[in-house]
Amino acid sequence: MEEKVDCLEYLSKEHGMIRAVSKILQEISRRISDGERVEAGDVGKMMTVLEGIEKCHRIEEDQVLFQLKARSRSFEEPIKELLAEHDKAREIFKEMRAGLERWKVGGGADAALSSRVSEYAASLAEHVRKEEIVFRNDDVRLLSPADHKDLVERFKKVEQNILGPVSKGQMAATVIELQNRLCG
């Protein structure tokens, strides 16, 4: 029997990883606010994972959102909002990354950077929450099994191109390790 593939379930699994990343970022934000140390290596690992997962996830997700929009008008408004959030997140991410690169070297309490990291983390969690609502819209049934299969194949190609030899499994393991050690 052919394996059933569900592109929305695939993205929802990535949402689980993004939620964990959001928690780690909130802890990093707290430490930055309190002037506590975070190993530069951990900040680096966190940013590499975040950059990889976010880049793949958004490209994959944009493809699904465009398909949904083409199938039903009920997606038009929420998807417009989600796509705008994708663009905005890219901008905030760049600023946050530059701030963290500087902080990694000097350390110390930094209220502005702490709030930027915390806001970014909160916006990730909120964005994922909204998407999960869109994914539960009845009209997602308009995606056929062939659409699901085609989309998941495309996701895998995106991952190969962006992540290269690093597997998503390795990224998930890094997230779990950081979460256990920093937030445990």
Per-state percent for the chain, helix, strand, coil, to nearest 5: 85, 0, 15
Q: Which residue, 61 or 159, is less far from Fe ion as judged by CB?
A: 61
- Least distance from Fe ion to the Cβ atom of residue 121, Å: 15
- Least distance from Fe ion to the Cβ atom of residue 12, Å: 8
Number of residues lying near Fe ion (CB under 5 A): 2
Q: Which stretch binds Fe ion (CB under 5 A): 28-36, 61-69, 108-116, 155-163?
A: 61-69
Contact of 41 with 48, CB cutoff 8 Å: no
Q: Which stretch binds Fe ion (CB under 5 A): 36-44, 95-103, 123-131, 157-165?
A: 123-131
- The answer to whether residue 131 forms part of the interface with Fe ion (CB under 5 A) is yes
Q: Which stretch binds Fe ion (CB under 5 A): 35-43, 55-63, 71-79, 102-110?
A: 55-63
Q: Which residue, 17 or 117, is less far from Fe ion as judged by CB?
A: 17
CA nearest 115: which of 21, 177, 33? 33
CA nearest 139: which of 70, 48, 60? 70
CA nearest 47: which of 152, 182, 183, 175? 175
Which tokens belong to 88?
């905005």
Residues that bind Fe ion (CB under 5 A): 61, 131
